Chains A and B, each alone.
Chain A
């Protein structure tokens, strides 16, 4: 636990630890008072910290290694999940997982980036950075869903598409581009949820849909703040400023009319209470699914075209 504590979380966690220790001696009346005072203090502190997070702190929360990942949400929200593998062209990309699942009465196709939690699983998952075969696998699953009339839900959580030599050889750009085109005309509903990091084309490659939801402590932008800092400030040191300038939080994106809805997280972030965030997200997804399955395919596609058509700010 301690190794994953963020700087701004530390005072809260220290205080909580102290309360925990004191509770061992609770029989003593004086201490009881002291405990409730400290508990009030910790509540206040949490409120102060989490209501005033900077954009960079949100980025840090979005990357928190204890946050639920795609497979965690699948296990917490769905039953009867059947994971399906491979793009039928080259291989099975472990950075993207996919399969059929049931969310109560809804039978859906779920596709998401998958990160690992430790060095070993991160190497296995390539840190959630897909190669072209990942995007092609995702497209294959979407086509499968379309064929059998199942809505698609995608979970976005990636530091970016993998910038490797072989990824270029096998057409990383073509794979992403094709997904954008095909997702825009898929005949079944698509719900996109940003559950962690939404880094650029690597995220958008499975991110075109009818409803775009964003968890409260996540980020979505054209570039990661560190890379933006390195290009525009010519130094890695300006990541905080870059995060501010990029306006990349859920609230920012709602304001820019890119996303439709923010999914509220438990106080302190999704990693503080997996069950709670899964419950919240499940309820919201069911609500969205109920609305979308009523829409006819032609209308769905027309709406999608108009939705993305409206994005952008320019003067004439």
Chain B
């Protein structure tokens, strides 16, 4: 990823390979269970033993949420314009191009229209693997257009968030994407069209403080990290360890900020069920 520091320097791709031959197996980080990739996929990348939800990409969500072959992607090749000509230890432009090559995506969100149990919905799904799922101009614009499609075609809107927050390398322009997406959601709400927000691990910062928290229904995947400030920052601020389960889905459910914590296997059904009550 190159985005966060590897905490254990001694873990190299080589040593991992020796543990898991041929890349046919994955190990559950929660319970250490060894799972075959085929079985893993059939189980929607959830550990069959302990229900740990592995982080998956937008392509995976699309594969099991939508009716076969019904999903059509829009604005696939929209790309960041590097408005600030930003450079930190690396040029932002290079970072973008390298990530495009590595991930096969052009930015951190995929948008389009598809059918869930025969009901058309406008959809957006973020991808953590693209610069930490950070929200910049492209994410903002693509989601704004997706919300507009829902508005114009009078269909429900569903967004899956998976994001570290706003993208620093686009400065204040990233910040403004929060206002841009929220104002479009206001228009959607005024037209009485449903918006379901699904938060997955992790959803933090500016993403949480805009569209992710604005659902008519807010859904969270089990045990996802969801918050505004990151746990490390909070820990530094209060100078104490954080309580067990703090900022996890179940914590937000308890505090009243998500409606439901939904197992990945139930997600498609739950969306359908909710849309039935809010639309048609």
Contact = CB atoms under 8 A, between A and B. Distances in A.
Given A184-B186, A222-B172, A232 B234 contact: no
Contacts, number: 200
Given A168-B229, A168-B247, A173 B172 contact: no
Interface string A199-237: 011001101100000000000111100001001111000
A169 B255 contact: yes
B144 to A, nearest CB: 6
Contact of B182 (A165, A180, A222): A180
A163 B234 contact: yes
Contacts of B177: 311-312
A184 B144 CA distance: 14
Contacts of A316: 75, 77-79
A181 B189 contact: yes
B245 interface: no
Nearest to B255: A169
Interface string B165-198: 0111111111111111011111101100000000
A245 interface: yes
Contact of B137 (A169, A185, A245, A313): A313
Interface in A226-279: 228, 231-234, 238, 241-242, 245-248, 252-253, 256, 258
Nearest to B252: A171
A201 B144 contact: no
Contacts of A208: 179, 182-183
Contact of A314 (B78, B179, B205): B78
Interface stretch (B23-31, B32-40, B80-88): B80-88
A237 B75 CA distance: 39
Contacts of B137: 311-314
Contact of B206 (A164, A174, A200, A252): A200
A293 interface: no
B136, B171, B172, B173 — most chain A CB neighbours (10 Å): B172
Given A177-B210, A258-B173, A315-B78, A228 B183 contact: no
B238 interface: yes
Given A201-B209, A245-B86, A315-B80, A164 B179 contact: no
Contact of B176 (A233, A241, A258, A305): A258
Given A174-B257, A180-B178, A201-B209, A245 B214 contact: no
B12 interface: no
A98 interface: no
A15 interface: no
Contacts of B255: 169-171
Given A246-B171, A311-B173, A180 B210 contact: yes
B208 to A, nearest CB: 4
Given A180-B178, A222-B168, A223-B168, A304 B205 contact: no
Contacts of B15: none
Nearest to A315: B79
Given A164-B234, A173-B213, A232-B88, A248 B171 contact: yes
A207 B234 CA distance: 24
A219 B66 CA distance: 44
Interface string B201-212: 000011011111
B89 interface: yes
A308 B228 contact: no
B226 to A, nearest CB: 8
Contacts of B84: 245-247, 256
A293 to B, nearest CB: 21
A313 B96 CA distance: 14
Interface string A79-93: 000000000000000
A111 B169 CA distance: 30
Given A205-B209, A304-B183, 18 more contacts: A170-B255, A176-B228, A177-B209, A177-B213, A178-B213, A180-B209, A181-B185, A185-B183, A200-B175, A201-B205, A208-B182, A221-B175, A222-B166, A223-B168, A232-B89, A248-B171, A308-B176, A313-B173
15 contacts: A163-B228, A164-B238, A173-B228, A180-B209, A185-B190, A201-B228, A208-B183, A223-B166, A232-B89, A245-B169, A308-B179, A309-B180, A311-B173, A312-B173, A314-B138
